[in-house]
Amino acid sequence: MVGTVPPERSRLCDRRRECAALDRLLATVHEGRSGVLVLRGEAGIGKTALLDHAVETASGCRIARVTGVESEMELTYAGLHQLCGAEMLHRLDRLPGPQRDALGSAVGQTAGAAPDRFLVGLAVLSLLADVAEKRPLLCVVEDAQWLDHASALVLAIAARRLQVESVVMLIAIREPCAAPEFEGLPELRVEGLPDRDARQLLASVTPGGLDARVRDRIVAETQGNPLALLELPRGLEPAELAAGFGLPGTLPVPHRIEESFARRLEQLPAATRLLLLAAAVEPTGEAQLVWRAAAQLGVGIDAAAPAQADGLLELGGRIVFRHPLVRSAVYGAASPDQRRTVHGALADAIDPGLDPERRAWHRAHAAPGPDEGVADELERTADGAQGRGSLVAAATLLERAVALTPDPRRRAERVLTAAQANLDAGSAAAASRLLDAADEELLDELGRARLERMRARIAFVTRRGRDAPPLLLRAARRLEPHDVRLARETYLEALDAAMFAVSLGSGVLELAEAARAAPPAPEPPQASDLLLDGLAALLTEGYAAGVPTLKRALDAYLHGDDLRWLQPATRTAWWLWDHEAWLTLTARAVQLARDTGALSQLPLALTHLAAATVLTGDLAAAAALLEEARSITTATGSPSIPPVEVYLAAWRGLEPEYTRRAEEMLADAEARGEGLAIAIIEYSTAILHNGLGNHGIALAAAQRACATGESPQWAIPELVEAAARTGRPELADTDMHKLCDFATSTGTELALGLRARCLALLARGQAAEDLFREAIDRLGRIRTRAHLARAHLLYGEWLRGERRRLDAREQLRTAHEMFVSMGVKGFADRAARELLASGERAPKPRVETSSRLTAQEAQIARLANEGLSNQEIGARLFLSPRTVEYHLHKVFTKLGIGSRTELGNVLAGVAANGAQTERR
């Protein structure tokens, strides 16, 4: 790739503060630690000089250098290609399979499905750690603002996860350009030189001396920018410079520097300028390619000599410009015809079998106007780019194909394809821009329906707004006459968006009615067809009508291989209170995301599994799953999925932490109109305060949760308990009837067990006792220890109220020990108070050995105990194997053990204590 010529070492003036920061960072790498630093500053301010200082002083380190090029921003993974040269890529086989395949596909070494960029980022992290295993590694990224988005993203992912790999990453960003991928990383702002040093540097290139007023003007206007101080005097006669008559007018510093380079270019032969233009528009800077293109232009290699003598570039395996502004000046000085001619020569010089994307890109820029042949090549090349995961490249090529398509109808069709490619690449804004420019009159009915569907999906992706479900509904209706399968998928997408984004009001009912009236699925129906039909029936006619079909859908997902729409299926299991199906499907969704490397989907799947795991009573495992999800969202910069964190905090009884998080999340959910998130937060509030004994607060929260209709029946047990404990059981009558009907329809052990528990709270005498025993029996048959422990607690409280203290103590003791083993503090304290009131003091909770570990350490310990290798743990937790080894050593030290076998014994002892408690 075209880079920049390092300035002379002697010109690094007064950078003691910056050099000291770099030296400190480099010192850590020899201690086995890693570090990241982002250098920010305007063009010419000295970032490159500082990077060169780091390279020169990084004794004993390997060096990997990447330079962003503005014209290369459209070429996906171009920067990654430069970083992962042959020296690194021969190590691909040492990476875990999914990472190896993802990175190999990204750099074009292997064919395969489009790799998830976050998995590519993890692969880069693992590769850097492997390279640094025997010798520390310094990665230098210059002009990061011009990296292609995919490369910037994966480098940022790796940078955020560096810990103890002996890797230092230095990233230089020109301001005021934006580089959002690197925001939040440690920064060092590079400012202009102080006046004294600026004068000294200026004097070094003006041996004839300057009038003091002229000198001060130059120093003031350049604001101490070193490159400006070096470049502005060039090309001026000593007399002009001394008097100041030859100085240009007031311009921003980068423009002045570029103008200085432009003046120098004017003095070069025409052939040299043409050669420089070829080097400027070819992003790789590959010398042999530029020479082949130059030969087609009738330019020989000797044409480079004048530019090389003037210090504008260096020749080698790659052609390196002195500074990016030289490249900008070269390109700006060329006419449009010259640019097209050079692009054409470069296209002809590229082997289409080796680099079809770059050849098509040059051909597109060489076209003087619409050209169906070039547009068709761009479209075909985009298909290949999508196949190897270059989604951004595919979208860029398709956009260019749109611009070059002469036939209006064909162009309108390509607009849809390009918009879909942008949406798939994560650029909803670009997709929306394309659709806004589309001429709907030139599309057929299917095309118009597809356009409407894309607009609806953009609305949901960008705003998660209330307008997305009705837009999807309209698109589904429009698709019906033309594509039944796509129409039905759009109905399902609309229902899923509605249940996620808005309250279950008339809008959702209208949507469900429309879905029920849609054409039937082709035979045999797929699992997603059953899911759509069941949800539509449930929402329009109630649980009795929808549950049978939904059970068939869940069975198809549980025993079949149709994994599309798996997330709505897991939510359906949650709706039906089928806990076993919920656990199984969420675990399958997590495994699928891991196996396919779909790290953009993995956080959502992990949070769903965490929610299902909470009810098993293994709150530590649920916390580990959420920590894994958080590690991915932090590394990738993707949004977190917060309500499950609140749900877990509620069960734990951590009121201060819960209140702070819940208030933030509730405000955000209300602003977005996310009814499901609001309901989960209100439901969680009811759980928290029922555990703490604040039943009045719990009652109000449960009523709000039930009123939303979003948390299907889940909040009713909290409402019944709070109403009974506040002496107002009549407030639960209506919802109790709903729960009874729901439990009868679903017939799951969880639903029937919770129905029995709720009815027991409202009954008296032997009827109440029979119901409590039924609840304990049913909940004991499934993996819902959290609800089982609460059944023991409520039964014990009822027995104490009946003055049966000995019987009460047995139930309360069981509940207390279960809650303590699970880490459910609020309910454990409530059980302890009830036990004390019955005449027995609860034993002081023992601090488990595992509680000494941090969340990440506990997570690593659990995975190590499951038999995963350091490499496998790193792949799962988005860490390098070396970082896993470091944390595992800390685990051993804290627990006073020396092997994984001993680790297993420690964790097994904790689990055994909980199991014994449950059996008692």
Contact (CB, 8 A) for 282 and 289: yes
Q: What angle do CA 186, 144, 18 make, to 5 degrees?
A: 45
Separation of alpha carbons 221 and 561, rounded Å: 68
**In whole angstroms, what separates CA 88 from the centre of its chain?**
25
pLDDT of residue 566: 83
Start-to-end CA distance of the chain, whole Å, equals 69
Helix (H) or strand (E) holding 281: helix 270-281
Q: What angle do CA 187, 192, 195 make, to 5 degrees?
A: 145
Across 160-169, 493-502, 698-707, least confident range: 493-502
User: How does DSSP classify residue 206?
Assistant: -
- The tokens for 166 are 């002996």
* Mean pLDDT, residues 375-391 taken together: 78
- The tokens for 257 are 């520097």
Across 208-222, 556-570, 871-885, least confident range: 208-222
pLDDT tens sequence across 122-172: 889 989 998 898 899 999 999 898 888 888 888 988 898 888 899 999 999
The residue type found at 488 is R
Q: How confident is the model at residue 6 (pLDDT cuts 50, 70, 90)?
A: very low
Contact (CB, 8 A) for 792 and 818: yes
pLDDT of residue 757: 97
pLDDT of residue 259: 76
pLDDT tens sequence across 385-396: 776 656 667 888
pLDDT of residue 907: 67
pLDDT tens sequence across 515-538: 999 898 888 888 999 999 999 998
Separation of alpha carbons 712 and 539, rounded Å: 11
- The tokens for 58 are 């990084």
Separation of alpha carbons 400 and 405, rounded Å: 9
pLDDT of residue 136: 93
441 pLDDT above the threshold of 90: no
914 pLDDT above the threshold of 70: no
252 pLDDT above the threshold of 70: no
pLDDT of residue 465: 57
Q: How confident is the model at residue 818 (pLDDT cuts 50, 70, 90)?
A: very high
* Mean pLDDT, residues 16-45 taken together: 89
Q: What is the mean pLDDT of the chain?
A: 83
pLDDT of residue 917: 38
Neighbours of 831 (CB within 10 A): 29
609 pLDDT above the threshold of 90: yes
Residue 827: exposed, middle, or buried by beta-carbon count in 10 A (0-12, 13-18, 19+)? buried
pLDDT of residue 235: 53
Give the pTM.
0.69
Peptide bond into 176 cis (omega under 30): yes
Q: How confident is the model at residue 911 (pLDDT cuts 50, 70, 90)?
A: very low
Q: What is the 3-state secondary structure (H, E, C) of 224-244?
A: CCHHHHHHCCCCCCHHHHHHC
Q: How confident is the model at residue 761 (pLDDT cuts 50, 70, 90)?
A: very high
504 pLDDT above the threshold of 90: no
* Mean pLDDT, residues 718-725 taken together: 96
pLDDT of residue 384: 76
pLDDT of residue 826: 93
Q: How confident is the model at residue 4 (pLDDT cuts 50, 70, 90)?
A: very low
Separation of alpha carbons 86 and 89, rounded Å: 5
10 pLDDT above the threshold of 60: no
The rounded radius of gyration (Å) of the Cα atoms in the chain is 33
The residue type found at 547 is V
- The tokens for 832 are 């302890």
Across 215-224, 333-342, 352-361, least confident range: 215-224
909 pLDDT above the threshold of 80: no
Q: Higher-confidence residue: 511 or 765? A: 765
pLDDT tens sequence across 837-882: 988 887 876 544 445 677 778 778 888 888 888 888 887 777 888 8
Contact (CB, 8 A) for 858 and 829: no
Contact (CB, 8 A) for 242 and 214: yes
- The tokens for 40 are 């920010």
- Strands 187-189 and 62-67, how do they pair? unpaired
Q: How confident is the model at residue 469 (pLDDT cuts 50, 70, 90)?
A: confident
Any bridge partners for residue 66, and if so which?
Answer: 141
Any bridge partners for residue 140, and if so which?
Answer: 65, 170
- Strands 320-321 and 313-314, how do they pair? antiparallel
Share of the chain above pLDDT 90, in %: 32
Neighbours of 899 (CB within 10 A): 9
pLDDT of residue 806: 93
* Residues 6+ away with beta carbon under 8 Å from 214: 241, 242, 243, 244, 247
Q: How confident is the model at residue 730 (pLDDT cuts 50, 70, 90)?
A: very high
pLDDT of residue 2: 35
pLDDT of residue 383: 82
Share of the chain above pLDDT 70, in %: 85
pLDDT tens sequence across 272-307: 999 999 988 886 678 888 899 999 999 988 898 998
633 pLDDT above the threshold of 50: yes
667 pLDDT above the threshold of 80: yes
Helix (H) or strand (E) holding 187: strand 187-189
Peptide bond into 254 cis (omega under 30): no
pLDDT of residue 333: 86
800 pLDDT above the threshold of 90: yes
